Amino acid sequence: MIVVEEKKRNKNHNMVLRGVTWHFVAKINGKKVKRALSQSITEARRLRDDYLRELMLHGDIPDRRPRPKEGQLFGELAQKWIDIVAKEIKLSTLEDYRYSMNRYILPRFGNISIGNIGYMEIREFVSKLDCSHKRKNNVLVPMRSVFKMAFLNGDIEQNPMDRIKNVKVTKPDIYPLSMEEVKLVLEYVSPRFLNFFIVAFFTGMRFGEMAALKWKHVDFKLGIIRVRETLVKRETGRPKTKKSVRDIKMLPPVVEAIRDQRKATMGKTEYVFVNQYGKPVEPMPTNFHVWKPALKKAGLEPRSLYQTRHTFATLMLDAGEHPGWVQKMMGHETMQMIYEKYYSYIKNYERDEGSAFMERVYSPATEKSTPDKVEAPAKGDPKGTQKERELEPAILTP
């Protein structure tokens, strides 16, 4: 039995508005059926009338929704997408996409038709991933791109990734070293990497910037290091941001370390720092075979290699260096980043708030109590009456 929903017989009967799109609604054999019509009310009414005629003549309505193309497996579409973007993105980005696909995505969805992958399947997949929240968000990036390509190509009617949100990532606290701890690390670090870590601690350079550092970018005459390249996953490219392209002043320990490093690599390679094979240094081997052993020998708690950069910032700010200078040295985009990350290390942070203003503006006269009574002024004294003088405020220095 076919029952058309009874509604007030207005012009929009058997229609409901969901968002900006009108939908046809009816009950067919006891089941509620809904079909998207149009955002245009006029077009929606026309399509509604067509559905009602089909319903009266044939007892059913045609399904005009596009169906997934046969054979469009997620894995096949993922390979097509990779082939398209391979020449448009950095090698390091491409490798990360491939890692996410091969390690996490394809084992779950590779052999499933993309039209059969819905919101709940993706949501459950993300929740069960055995990795950090940051990696989960990285996994979602190529997934979104594949689903978007399929949607634009007409392989799927709706894109379930539009409703998948990133996982909330909590930024880890910085864990810098004190000056005493820096000295301990430099004492126990492998001699081959001693100069590397001196430069890291006292310039705040990123690992990729140091790995890409070439002798042509070291200017002893001006006493600066020109940061012009970065090396990530064996690929040389431009630094992270526009502000990252910068000139770094070489502090005395850095000058000494760079001069000493000339004996090891200048004339043998264009790179300032290389590994035992004469190749540019890489983060993973340096972290596991150099950095972590040095921390352990020094009796210090483990921390990431990136903490050398945080250490530079905290040492400089704690010594009273201007935050603007620290920002320039590190290549941060804004001063806000310095204050957000390192506010507690800025010199005088622990002093009483407002004390600098009080010391700068008020004269020592404010520390003296104002007498209750002051001698009356002599006749004709322009300073006013005794009562007026009793109410005089503390004297401000110009």
Query: Residue 242 gets which letter from DSSP?
Result: G
pLDDT at 92 over 90: no
Is the model's pLDDT at 88 over the cut of 80? yes
- pTM here is 0.62
**H-type alpha helices, 31-132:** 41-58, 74-85, 91-100, 106-109, 119-128
Q: In a 3-state reduction of DSSP, which class is residue 79?
A: helix
Q: What is the CATH number of domain 179-345?
A: 1.10.443.10
Domain ranges within the chain, ordered by starting residue: 2-58, 74-163, 179-345
Pairing of strands 21-28, 2-3: antiparallel
Which tokens sit at 181?
A: 């701890």
SS3 235: strand
Q: What would the mean pLDDT of 92-109 be, rounded to a whole number?
A: 93
The residue that leads in pLDDT, 323 or 365, is 323
> Contact 323/338 with Cβ under 8 angstroms?
yes
Whole-number Å distance between alpha carbons of 6 and 123 = 37
- Helix 194-203 / helix 179-188 crossing angle, nearest 10 deg: 160
Residues 6 or more apart in contact with residue 224 via CB below 8 angstroms: 247, 248, 249, 250
Cβ atoms within 10 Å, residue 238: 12
Indicate if the pLDDT at residue 248 is higher than 50.
Answer: yes
Residue-wise pLDDT tens digits, 39-71: 788 888 888 888 888 888 777 776 655 554 555
Segment holding 263, helix H or strand E: helix 252-265
Domains 2-58 and 74-163 share a fold: no
Q: Are 316 and 342 in contact (CB under 8 A)?
A: no
Which H or E run contains 18? strand 15-18
> Tell me, what's the pLDDT at 252?
94
Domain 2-58 has CATH 3.30.160: yes
CA angle at 133 for the pair 132 and 138, rounded to the nearest 5°: 95
135: tokens are 């990696």
- Mean pLDDT score, 273-298: 95
Which ranges of 189-251 would DSSP assign to H, the alpha helix? 194-203, 207-211
H helix count then E strand count, the chain: 17, 9
Q: Are β-strands 218-219 and 224-227 bridged in parallel, bridged antiparallel, or unpaired?
A: antiparallel
C-alpha span between 274 and 263 (Å, rounded): 13
Question: Which tokens sit at 358?
Answer: 């009080």
Hey, what CATH class is 74-163 in? Answer: mainly alpha
Taking a C-beta distance cutoff of 8 angstroms, is the pair 225, 257 a contact? no
Which candidate, 65, 96, 66, 63, places its Cα nearest to that of 82? 96
**Residues facing 34 on adjacent strands:** 25
Give per-residue pLDDT as tens, 165-222: 999 988 778 899 999 999 999 999 999 999 999 999 999 999 999 999 999 999 999 9
d(CA 91, CA 217): 24
